Amino acid sequence: MKLGWLEAGTLAAASVASAADLAYSPPFYPSPWSTGAGDWAEAHKRAVEFVSNLTLAEKVNLTTGAGWEQERCVGETGGIPRLGMWGMCMQDSPLGIRDSDYNSGFAAGVNVAATWDKRLAYQRGLAMGEEHRDKGVDVQLGPVAGPLGRSPDGGRVWEGFSPDPVLTGAMMAHTIKGIQDAGVIACAKHFIGNEQEHFRQAGEAQGYGDNITESLSSNIDDRTMHELYLWPFVDAVRAGVGSVMCSYNQINNSYGCSNSYTLNKLLKSELGFQGFVMSDWGAHHSGVGDALAGLDMSMPGDVILGSPYSFWGTNLTISALNGTIPEWRIDDMAVRIMAAYYKVGRDRVRVPPNFSSWTRDEYGFEHFMVSENMIKLNERVNVQRDHASGIRKLGADSTVLLKNKGALPLTHNERFIGILGEDAGSNPAGANGCADRGCDDGTLAMGWGSGTANFPYLITPEQAIQNEVLNYGNGQTNVFAVTNNSNTEQIAAIASQSSVALVFVNADSGEGFINVDGNEGDRKNLTLWKNGEHLIKTAAQNCNNTIVVMHTPNAVLVGDWYDNENITGILWAGLPGQESGRSIADVLYGRVNPGAKTPFTWGKTREAYGAPLLTKPNNGQGAPQQNFSEGVFIDYRNFDKNNEEPIFEFGFGLSYTKFEFSDIEVTALNADKYTETTGKTKHAPVLGKIGEASDYLFPKGIKRIRQYLYPYINSTNLREASGDPYYGEKAEDYIPAGATNGSPQPLLPASGPSGGNPGLFEDLYQVTVTVTNTGSVPGDEVPQLYVSLGGEDEPVKVLRAFDRITIAPGQKAQWTTTLTRRDISSWDVPSQNWVVRDTKKKAYVGNSSRHLPLSIELPAAK
Ligand SMILES: *[C@@H]1O[C@H](CO)[C@@H](O)[C@H](O)[C@H]1NC(C)=O
Ligand SMILES: *[C@@H]1O[C@H](CO)[C@@H](O)[C@H](O)[C@H]1NC(C)=O
Ligand SMILES: *[C@@H]1O[C@H](CO)[C@@H](O)[C@H](O)[C@H]1NC(C)=O
Ligand SMILES: *[C@@H]1O[C@H](CO)[C@@H](O)[C@H](O)[C@H]1NC(C)=O
Ligand SMILES: *[C@@H]1O[C@H](CO)[C@@H](O)[C@H](O)[C@H]1NC(C)=O
Ligand SMILES: *[C@@H]1O[C@H](CO)[C@@H](O)[C@H](O)[C@H]1NC(C)=O
Ligand SMILES: *[C@@H]1O[C@H](CO)[C@@H](O)[C@H](O)[C@H]1NC(C)=O
Ligand SMILES: *[C@@H]1O[C@H](CO)[C@@H](O)[C@H](O)[C@H]1NC(C)=O
Ligand SMILES: *[C@@H]1O[C@H](CO)[C@@H](O)[C@H](O)[C@H]1NC(C)=O
Ligand SMILES: *[C@@H]1O[C@H](CO)[C@@H](O)[C@H](O)[C@H]1NC(C)=O
Ligand SMILES: *[C@@H]1O[C@H](CO)[C@@H](O)[C@H](O)[C@H]1NC(C)=O
């Protein structure tokens, strides 16, 4: 394997590579056309019927947003009025409806991962899907597997799940099933290598004073791509996800939405993805080029947000007319979009959007961007149902108990409770007081950026604990809250009187377009915010029963205080959403026995993680080069490799009871032999005729909305109609070899209809263990199965299976799981296929990545 740039990655960051040395993304054309493979047959058939009836302009309408803030949703395509179809509505976010009202604020993805509970992931997905559906949303823009979590300080890691691809993959799949069972299309994002905020968009970076002209390039080798970053997207495709969002960053110096290798080869050919690819907002960089590279929908449509022009819309119609994009490619875009629409049953449950992302006023401009047409915009439909109880449960079930010296659970007989820290209280500006949650004031229950929702309310820890004492207490407890972190004197005074001091601290991160306290999305350090460490130390100096609760997007450094003898309990509550206070009270008071496990490693230092963020441009004004030179060794795999002791290891979490593991058994199952996929696709289907330029002139007699992106042309002179001075000569609009070829194409050896070669998903082994609750209260345990693949360059172990199970005290439970061929395979670059290497493989089972009391050798695979 030639990895010139990987070696280059170890050179000084300042050295500027010459263009020839830069990582390169090989072309892969033509863009695979959808076939209805897997369980898409019915939806695909209906989509083909529908699209066969459309004119070119109607198809183009489906593919292109109407423009930023032109319609109510954060992105909305044109409609097909002739067939009574209004535009498709895309709405953030992965944790609830963004920019809306009377909706729920769910827990972040990182909390879902911490539950290790697939059913809860599904239920949350279903609940979010119901809310989106009832507000008229066609596509919920989530869930997230990119960032995966290469670096703990990556700004958006909390939107996703866990740096472990198997844990993330399972949570992706169950979230997607939930959303889509509610009748809403899910969107797996951001594809791919979108692991940090710095330099994700050149314009944004310039705003922060870094004069670069191109977005960061995530340089990822093929093995790391398959074994790590692509893995959870495979699970998303297997779960039937309707759409995938391509990312802002480049991969090997080719933009996420222009990269034929990632879109055409990996996603659509190898994984057999049948849905559609939409661009991230402003990640669309070329008209013809991106269409041929596999993009199917331009969001929000404009060249740059707010511009009256589009790479598609008018330009896509022109590209079809001037023959640079074949009819079949445009048909395929429309078929993919409509197939996703039918697959989730949009035709049965669709209502028009009845809220506006741009104002909370009841009345406002329908076309907000251009202040046209005052109408009733916000119907204020309440879509919350009883989702609050699920949010409360998920909040408690995702709270990880990291330390407990017998202090927890609390009883209602406390003499004096001190509640200490700003993170216990309210934001003085209200829970939604900062746009896109772009501040860290009061208790933290979401990060910031587009991955947020408005809260309907936010129950703070202070409120919930006060309520607990007042409503359920013995009437003798005193309770005081000090929520000003700088009032050290009063913090010390209350702590010294407390029989228990509950200290609330946080750290925050978010999306790059907002800078909070010098954190440009990514965290600039791994320490607690707002002097949290000082707060903890002050409390612990004065109270020998100090319990710390942390609200953070990922790991923080706790080395200076976690083993202080006066700190009798430590809990990580993540970003729990609207029921935050009630969730933590449920755990503190033992109504919920904690069963969560940390979905990431808590290291002693930032350096212990490796995989540093790139925060200084290292390629002059060109694309900063981020070499993923650590390969597959992120998070616990890196700690294992370097024999580095974490403070709290991946998969760790305590309970109010105790569990024991025994009796491991493995059975080899009767699986078929792995066969590589061979043969060819069919010819690309052509579903219509392009017609004459004059068919697409702007229709007379329709009111033209200013700056609105239509599929029509102004003139039959196409150069003039494009308004593009470089018409016919732009480098990115050249036609790569083979890109317009609609003839049968060879199938890739590792390819298959739903996520890859079906042989990968066959069960090879069954593993059974016994888990016993040896304590005195009921509790949940998460048996975790890790595999050592045995190869020299393999991680010490990788997570492959887990479940969360409830066991009564004194009871035994048998946990049975299976391992698929994929679970024991390695990606072989030369053959471009998965192989089971001839090495000794072992399975380990236990309740954290470093507590694996059971192990067993796996029999050789067929
Ligand atoms: C990036 O380059 C590496 C090294 O040549 C290669 O293994 C990998 O497949 C490339 N990935 C993409 C998406 O081009
Ligand atoms: C779709 O096309 C078929 C066959 O050309 C035609 O009979 C039908 O009326 C069309 N339906 C619509 C809604 O245009
Ligand atoms: C495209 O969508 C816009 C907005 O919904 C609509 O006004 C226009 O009529 C549509 N064009 C066609 C050809 O359906
Ligand atoms: C708003 O949503 C309700 C309930 O989901 C739906 O019945 C209604 O048609 C929508 N209102 C508008 C104006 O679209
Ligand atoms: C950024 O670089 C360009 C090209 O060299 C230059 O024209 C421009 O002045 C620079 N801008 C800043 C703010 O330094
Ligand atoms: C067509 O695309 C080019 C960029 O490739 C852009 O400059 C031009 O404004 C677009 N035309 C229209 C009508 O949107
Ligand atoms: C880390 O960042 C936070 C948030 O900006 C800040 O409050 C804190 O002081 C920083 N820590 C260090 C050690 O600089
Ligand atoms: C622990 O708390 C007690 C007060 O209860 C205090 O006297 C002592 O110094 C504290 N110990 C530490 C290590 O801070
Ligand atoms: C903690 O301090 C209290 C006095 O505030 C004392 O009664 C108790 O024994 C101490 N507990 C421990 C474990 O030192
Ligand atoms: C097309 O015509 C409209 C209306 O006159 C104008 O606003 C728009 O700029 C024209 N587009 C191009 C690319 O010339
Ligand atoms: C065809 O049209 C597209 C869209 O306007 C334009 O970008 C491209 O340069 C044109 N190509 C040729 C060969 O005319």
Decide: 67 in ligand 3 pocket, CB within 6 A.
no
The tokens of 694 are what? 């004059």
pLDDT computed for residue 733 by the predictor: 77
- 274 with 396, same domain: the answer is no
Ligand 4: residues with CB < 6 A are: 134, 136, 351-352, 354, 379, 381
Decide: 638 in ligand 6 pocket, CB within 6 A.
no
Protein residue with its CA nearest to atom 5 in ligand 1: 3
Contact status, residue 180 vs residue 242, Cβ threshold 8 Å: yes
In a domain, 377, yes or no: no
Q: Choose among 122, 150, 146: nearest CA to 194.
A: 146
| Positive/negative CA dihedral, 299, 290, 521, 199 | negative
Calculate how far, in angstroms, residue 520's C-alpha sits from the geometric centre of ligand 7: 13
Q: Which atom of ligand 5 is nearest to the CA of 209?
A: 13
User: Which residue's structure tokens are 């109407």?
Assistant: 66
In a domain, 365, yes or no: no
Average pLDDT of span 21-37: 97
Which helix (DSSP H) or strand (DSSP E) does residue 765 occupy? strand 763-773
In a domain, 741, yes or no: no
Active site residue 663: no
Query: Whole-model pTM?
Result: 0.97
Q: Is the pLDDT of residue 523 over 50?
A: yes
- Rounded distance between C-alpha atoms, residue 422 and residue 424, angstroms: 5
pLDDT confidence tier of residue 218, bands split at 50, 70 and 90: very high
pLDDT confidence tier of residue 824, bands split at 50, 70 and 90: very high
- 220 with 263, same domain: the answer is yes
- 766 with 812, same domain: the answer is yes
- Which ligand places an atom closest to the C-alpha of 537? 8
Q: What is the three-class DSSP state of 655?
A: coil
Q: Choose among 320, 226, 211, 340: nearest CA to 273.
A: 340
Provide the percentage of residues in the chain whose pLDDT is more than 90: 96
Which helix (DSSP H) or strand (DSSP E) does residue 855 occupy? strand 854-857
- 532 with 402, same domain: the answer is yes
Decide: 714 in ligand 10 pocket, CB within 6 A.
yes
For 400-459, the pLDDT digits (tens) are 999 999 999 999 999 999 999 999 999 999 999 999 999 999 999 999 999 999 999 999
Protein residue with its CA nearest to atom 9 in ligand 8: 541
Chain-centroid distance, C-alpha 505: 25
In a domain, 839, yes or no: yes
Protein residue with its CA nearest to atom 11 in ligand 1: 25
Calculate how far, in angstroms, residue 560's C-alpha sits from the geometric centre of ligand 5: 44
Decide: 621 in ligand 5 pocket, CB within 6 A.
yes
Q: Is the pLDDT of residue 349 over 70?
A: yes
- 724 with 790, same domain: the answer is no
pLDDT computed for residue 734 by the predictor: 82
Count: domains in the chain: 3
Ligand 1: residues with CB < 6 A are: 3, 23, 25-26, 220-222, 251-252, 261-262
Protein residue with its CA nearest to atom 2 in ligand 11: 319
Radius of gyration of the chain (CA): 27
Decide: 58 in ligand 3 pocket, CB within 6 A.
yes
Calculate how far, in angstroms, residue 108's C-alpha sits from the geometric centre of ligand 4: 27
pLDDT confidence tier of residue 10, bands split at 50, 70 and 90: very low
pLDDT confidence tier of residue 7, bands split at 50, 70 and 90: very low
pLDDT confidence tier of residue 732, bands split at 50, 70 and 90: confident
Instruction: Write phi, then psi, for 197 (nearest 5 degrees).
Output: -90, -40
CA angle, corner 392, sides to 386 and 396, nearest 5? 155
pLDDT confidence tier of residue 665, bands split at 50, 70 and 90: very high
- Which ligand places an atom closest to the C-alpha of 61? 3
Mutate to test the pocket of ligand 7, among 527, 534, 554 (most ligand atoms within 8 A of CB): 527
Calculate how far, in angstroms, residue 703's C-alpha sits from the geometric centre of ligand 10: 14
Q: Residue 268 corresponds to which amino acid?
A: K
Q: What is the three-class DSSP state of 786?
A: strand
In a domain, 73, yes or no: yes
Calculate how far, in angstroms, residue 83's C-alpha sits from the geometric centre of ligand 2: 10
Calculate how far, in angstroms, residue 333's C-alpha sits from the geometric centre of ligand 10: 26
- 449 with 598, same domain: the answer is yes
What CATH number corresponds to the domain at position 596? Answer: 3.40.50.1700
- Rounded distance between C-alpha atoms, residue 717 and residue 116, angstroms: 59
In a domain, 635, yes or no: no
Q: Counting beta carbons within 10 angstroms of the beta carbon of residue 120, is it exposed (0 to 12), middle (13 to 18) or buried (19 or more)?
A: buried
Q: Residue 805 corresponds to which amino acid?
A: I
Q: Is the pLDDT of residue 184 over 60?
A: yes
- Rounded distance between C-alpha atoms, residue 239 and residue 800, angstroms: 18
| Positive/negative CA dihedral, 506, 488, 520, 432 | positive
- Which ligand places an atom closest to the C-alpha of 309? 6
pLDDT computed for residue 862 by the predictor: 66
Helices (H), 681-741: 718-722
Average pLDDT of span 132-151: 98
- 185 with 327, same domain: the answer is yes
Calculate how far, in angstroms, residue 330's C-alpha sits from the geometric centre of ligand 2: 20
Contact status, residue 105 vs residue 453, Cβ threshold 8 Å: yes
pLDDT computed for residue 20 by the predictor: 66
The DSSP code sequence of 470-495 is HHHS-S--EEEEE--TT-HHHHHHHH
Q: Which atom of ligand 8 is nearest to the CA of 564?
A: 13
Protein residue with its CA nearest to atom 13 in ligand 5: 211
Which helix (DSSP H) or strand (DSSP E) does residue 416 occupy? strand 416-420
pLDDT confidence tier of residue 302, bands split at 50, 70 and 90: very high
Q: Residue 566 corresponds to which amino acid?
A: N
CA angle, corner 57, sides to 53 and 60, nearest 5? 100
Q: Which atom of ligand 5 is nearest to the CA of 211?
A: 1
Q: Choose among 554, 676, 630, 646: nearest CA to 795.
A: 630
The tokens of 538 are what? 């002050």
- 520 with 553, same domain: the answer is yes
Contact status, residue 860 vs residue 662, Cβ threshold 8 Å: no
- 700 with 787, same domain: the answer is no
What CATH number corresponds to the domain at position 802? Answer: 2.60.40.10
Contact status, residue 266 vs residue 247, Cβ threshold 8 Å: no
- 252 with 396, same domain: the answer is no
pLDDT confidence tier of residue 730, bands split at 50, 70 and 90: confident
Task: Give the Cβ contact number of residue 744 at 10 Å.
Answer: 12
- Rounded distance between C-alpha atoms, residue 52 and residue 41, angstroms: 16
Protein residue with its CA nearest to atom 4 in ligand 7: 529
Q: Choose among 493, 462, 712: nearest CA to 581.
A: 462
- Which ligand places an atom closest to the C-alpha of 212? 5
101, 280, 290, 302: which is the annotated catalytic residue? 280
Decide: 53 in ligand 2 pocket, CB within 6 A.
yes
Calculate how far, in angstroms, residue 135's C-alpha sits from the geometric centre of ligand 4: 7
Average pLDDT of span 55-73: 98
In a domain, 260, yes or no: yes
Mutate to test the pocket of ligand 5, among 210, 211, 214, 621 (most ligand atoms within 8 A of CB): 211
Calculate how far, in angstroms, residue 263's C-alpha sits from the geometric centre of ligand 1: 13
Protein residue with its CA nearest to atom 11 in ligand 8: 541
The tokens of 334 are what? 């429309």
pLDDT confidence tier of residue 17, bands split at 50, 70 and 90: low
Q: Which atom of ligand 7 is nearest to the CA of 525?
A: 1
- Which ligand places an atom closest to the C-alpha of 415? 9
Contact status, residue 590 vs residue 410, Cβ threshold 8 Å: yes
Which helix (DSSP H) or strand (DSSP E) does residue 336 occupy? helix 327-343
Average pLDDT of span 93-102: 98
Rounded mean pLDDT of the chain?
96
Calculate how far, in angstroms, residue 698's C-alpha sits from the geometric centre of ligand 3: 11
The tokens of 648 are what? 């709290």
Compute the half-sphere exposure of residue 265: CA atoms within 13 Å on the CB side of its CA: 16
pLDDT confidence tier of residue 15, bands split at 50, 70 and 90: very low
Protein residue with its CA nearest to atom 12 in ligand 11: 728
Q: Residue 184 belongs to what domain range?
A: 5-351+681-728
pLDDT computed for residue 21 by the predictor: 85
Q: Is the pLDDT of residue 9 over 70?
A: no
Q: What is the three-class DSSP state of 819?
A: strand
pLDDT computed for residue 253 by the predictor: 98
Contact status, residue 483 vs residue 526, Cβ threshold 8 Å: no
- 852 with 716, same domain: the answer is no
- Rounded distance between C-alpha atoms, residue 275 and residue 754, angstroms: 11
Decide: 319 in ligand 11 pocket, CB within 6 A.
yes
Q: Which of 692, 712, 728 is the last residue of a domain?
A: 728
What CATH number corresponds to the domain at position 346? Answer: 3.20.20.300
- 761 with 723, same domain: the answer is no
In a domain, 629, yes or no: no
Protein residue with its CA nearest to atom 5 in ligand 11: 315
Protein residue with its CA nearest to atom 8 in ligand 8: 541
Q: Is the pLDDT of residue 555 over 80?
A: yes
Protein residue with its CA nearest to atom 14 in ligand 4: 352
